[in-house]
Chain A
């Protein structure tokens, strides 16, 4: 309590002066009997302050950084804002500009131009959905070699003079043949033409399904409403929803498994290879630009279906597959598996319900049904004792499988095959685009929600590549490379989102950390801090004394 007075400054202490007086008063407040310790050597004082200083230096320069380094969680910084923007669709609004060539060799150029303009007007009047609009252009006369613009045209309209106005889709290439009565050619001055409206209507109907699908996709995604289509009738939405649920998730590669299940020992062999080559390969080759397919086949004897009864009605169909017994394990390659099962047994389906349910074509309905996102089962009745299934016997099943394959892939149902496929490409790319961006969004939200999870750099890389490809895909939407980019983006986004190392196995809540740190840091910190404080006090006191002494000297 009382300050130890170094003997050196007795004079100072005794010397008159207000401060000194106060000093003595302060000193006298303590018990008088007390002896004062001898004054410390300045060297000791210095040493002590050095000790304390060095301790603090060690703590601050070594301890804290190491502790921080070893206990902090690495979080790579993600472009959260842009990710969320993608998720909300602000970054890109999907637009599908479709080029449509009009081949009117029989018309003069000027007439054709006029017709084109009119039709375009008509189309624009009809079109309600901004995300997806058709742009007409005149195809060069056949004399010239077709240049680049021709390639990326989605459809070509061939105008041929005829007696009545008819329209027919060419089954093998994306061409719409329209015949028109000679009087239907609009004059250069006329502002409207029946032919133009007719063509526009035809086009509209041709692309109606695609438009509906894409708008459906947009509406289900978290896109802002301004890019939404205005009207989407509930029943059409419902049917679209059903088709969306039925079709498989997009994948670059699909694995097709053809299985022959027989309830008894026979038949034990089939020449499926030939059958596939004959009846399915063509479609697969057409599909190849969008998907690749791997195929394997198997024969399984003594297979018992999941439902024992002879006649299967609707609710049996779902439980027909005996998941426990039948070796239909999905392929391990990562490619989703589509199962095509030929079941040889005496089961039959009750009535034509199957047909009404899954609008299949032809009489095969009574034998087959489609299991959404899984595949198809075909009941093949056979005479007993058939040991071998010939390729011919497999024709009908395989045709069914082919048609089901298309709907499983999510291809539109109407239109000619080439059109359907190009549409499929566009739908898929839109779908992928949306899915990837929503994945980005959820990843961003996750990173925001859990501050304690670690974000490895691989995730950051994944995100950046995703966004790069998304941007590219958004620019080149509707084309082949657009699809490719979207595909990459989607894969990358998935990979980044499902990064394993983000999920920590050990979770330490904060109270645990406190429980661990406190016993160590608390007792260590107290002496350190106290020491520092004392040292500061002593230092201030010394300074004051020095001042006093200086003052005392001045007084004399």
Chain B
């Protein structure tokens, strides 16, 4: 996505397309960009990644004049003294095996739920915590997400995993504190999209944002909304504060093409079924399905339910709003009026602000019959595959196992593996070991897998465990990183309403360090989030507290009574003891009644 560099396009455009606009845009200093990149993926999936970027000069920001930069967010930043902010809403998981490497190299994507990290301007930890509190509360109000639940137990201060993306003056570097909080249980949904769109200068009214529709977005197999705010100081020019909003979603073409009013996947009639006719038993009522890679034909309005309504007039016209990444061989039809700019493997479409854009990909032609390779781009291989899962069973202790595979045959990969675990998972650090699949023993010491470990143990009910491990994996190796933990028992007020579901454990963050990193180069070459986990804790029967209290206290009382009596009673031979109080009373009673009865009988 990044490789279509604006400079080339600008030169291209400025001579052919919209000369006046190009001229005007130069004055606008490119304050607002937006672009949608579509990329078909294997197994009839389609990656659509929206990107909106707008700047405001720091001076304007300080003086509180907001134009493209959303005021609601700006106020929060000012009030919480935030230097740089990254907010992620994600749902689903990226299927690296079949979809290949992640969009933006994983830089614009978070673990399931909500993830937030920010550099706050604070001298002391208390100050930082206080600002963090205000920040999370304000953001939760703004995005209708329960970010305010990011309390001390869910907040960590990563040491090795994150570095500021923006350019910060060295003077302020020392007073910047990084805080990281994550809410794995938060379910991202439409109510988070609406405020997201409200932040855009053109709202959902014009430009590619018109394609963003809640139903489609949240029907996607994978989707991640990101907000990144960072100061950018171009060499020479004045520093600007840049907000970048990104939405990546992987749509299942088959599912998205279903009409909104009838989403039920009824089995289609026998004749519409694509069958493998080569099978000997193929007949009218027997059909071996051959539709793995079908559904590669689609159109913009089919996928998104509507066509794109013009462009946002504020957007920098030199950046084409829509780009499509398919091989040249693939035929693409658009409405006339749209100008197509071809480059290798990607074609972008430039349209006038009023006209609508409509794309249509026909089913792959016969020349592409030889397989999926021809009608979609081959997915790139990511530098690392990671998968995390629980081991063990039962309610007392368990283990976590992460399988890390380095696919590249020749280069070794170095990365930081970060876990932020809830406090009720007490991990045993000494059990943490990394072994290469094949060798039973931990790896040889001359080339240790684990380079460096940063561990911040949890405090009950105060803060969670923070574990950062810098590792290096040799080429074409699979490494098992495992450690054990113990589950602690919560107070009964600390359980969520659906206690028996279990507790979500945040995704682990894997930051692959850039090997050829010079002073100004990027810090992370690639970022991976594992899936989150569900940890089931011993769950009491909540209908019982009073019964339990009463039962135990009764038992205690009985024990006490027995002991007390034994200590205090005087033991005498049985025939010497006097009758108990009750017996004596009864004896008296009997005597009296007996007398009465006797008199009665006497009369009779």
Near B by CB (< 8 A), chain A positions 485-538 give 506, 512, 515-516, 519-520, 522-524, 526-528, 531
Q: Which of B76, B79, B561, B578 has the most CB of A within 10 A?
A: B578
Beyond A44-B570, A51-B567, A332-B76, whether A301 also contacts B557 by CB under 8 A is no
Chain B interface residue count: which class? 35 or more
**Residues of B contacting A298 with CB < 8 Å?**
65-67, 70-71
A234-273 interface code vs B (CB 8 A; 1 in, 0 out): 0000000000000000000000010100000110110011
CB of B579 closer than 8 Å to a CB of A: yes
Q: Are the CB atoms of B71 and A35 closer together than 8 Å?
A: no
Whether A519 lies near B66 (C-beta < 8 A) is no
Rounded to whole angstroms, the CA-CA distance of A297 and B579 in the bound complex is: 95
By a CB distance below 8 angstroms, the chain A residues around B561 are 523-524, 526-527
CB<8 Å pairs between A and B, sample of 20:
A1-B578, A34-B576, A34-B578, A37-B572, A48-B568, A52-B568, A265-B206, A269-B67, A296-B64, A296-B66, A301-B201, A332-B134, A333-B75, A506-B493, A519-B557, A520-B557, A522-B557, A524-B560, A527-B564, A531-B568
- Complex contacts, B71 vs chain A, CB 8 Å: 257, 259, 296-298, 327
Contact B67 A299 (CB under 8 A): yes
Give the CA-CA distance A235 to B8 in the complex, in Å.
Answer: 74
Task: Say if the beta carbon of A73 comes within 8 Å of chain B.
Answer: no
Dominant SS among interface residues on chain A = mixed
A308-342 interface (Cβ within 8 A of B): 325, 327, 329, 331-333
Which of these, B141, B553, B564, B579, contacts A55 with CB under 8 Å?
B564
Q: Quick check: A516 and B314 within 8 Å, CB to CB?
A: no
- Assess whether A36 is interfacial by the CB under 8 Å rule: yes
Tell me the bound Cα distance from A325 to B546 in angstroms: 50
- Which residue numbers of A lie inside 8 Å of B, CB to CB? 1-2, 30, 34-37, 40, 44, 48, 51-52, 55, 257, 259, 265-266, 268-269, 272-273, 294-299, 301-302, 325, 327, 329, 331-333, 506, 512, 515-516, 519-520, 522-524, 526-528, 531
Please give the distance in Å from A168's CB to the nearest CB on chain B: 41
Chain B residues near A257 (CB-CB < 8 A): 71
Residues of A contacting B549 in the complex (Cβ-Cβ under 8 angstroms): 516, 519
Q: What 1/0 mask marks residues of chain B from 63 to 104 whose CB sits below 8 Å from any chain A CB?
A: 111110011101110010000000000000000000000000
- With A327-B71, A527-B568 given, can you name 10 additional A-B contacts, CB distance below 8 Å? A36-B576, A37-B570, A48-B567, A265-B314, A268-B201, A269-B67, A296-B75, A302-B205, A520-B557, A524-B560
A-B CB proximity, top 10 nearest: A296-B64, A520-B553, A523-B557, A298-B71, A302-B205, A37-B572, A37-B576, A265-B313, A298-B66, A519-B550
When distances are taken between beta carbons in the complex, the residues of chain A under 8 Å from B493 are 506
Within 8 A of A (CB), among B559-600: 560-561, 564-565, 567-568, 570, 572-573, 575-579, 584
Chain B, Cβ-Cβ closest to A49: B568
Binding site for A on B (CB under 8 A): 63-67, 70-72, 74-76, 79, 134, 138, 141-142, 198, 201-203, 205-206, 312-314, 493, 546, 549-550, 553-554, 556-558, 560-561, 564-565, 567-568, 570, 572-573, 575-579, 584
For B554, the chain A residues whose CB sits under 8 A away are 519-520, 523
Q: How far is the CA of A516 from the CA of B584 in the complex (A)?
A: 35
In the complex, which residues of chain A have a beta carbon less than 8 angstroms from the beta carbon of B74? 296
Select A273's contact among B65, B138, B202, B576, beta carbons within 8 Å. B65
Q: Are B572 and A329 closer than 8 Å at their CB atoms? A: no
Shortest distance from the beta carbon of B347 to any chain A beta carbon, whole Å: 27
Q: Cα distance A374–B396 when bound, in Å?
A: 57
| Beta-carbon contact of B79 and A332 below 8 Å | yes
Complex partner residue of B65 from A272, A329, A516, A526, CB under 8 angstroms: A272
Chain A residue nearest in CB terms to B80: A332
Instruction: Determine whether the beta carbon of A295 is less than 8 Å from that of B67.
Output: no
Closest chain-B Cβ to A398's Cβ sits at a distance in Å of 15
Contacting residues, chain B, for A259 (C-beta < 8 A): 71
What's the least CB distance linking B341 to chain A, in Å? 24
A329 near B72 (CB under 8 angstroms)?
yes
| C-alpha spacing A35/B549, complex, angstroms | 46
Cα–Cα, bound, A301→B312 (Å) = 10
B residues in contact with A515, CB < 8 Å: 546, 550
Closest A residue to B550 by beta carbon equals A519
Query: How far, in Å, is A341 (CB) from chain B's closest CB?
Result: 13
**Docked CA distance A522–B556 (Å):** 11
User: Residues of A contacting B575 with CB < 8 Å?
Assistant: 34-35
| Closest Cβ–Cβ distance, residue B546 to chain A (whole Å) | 6
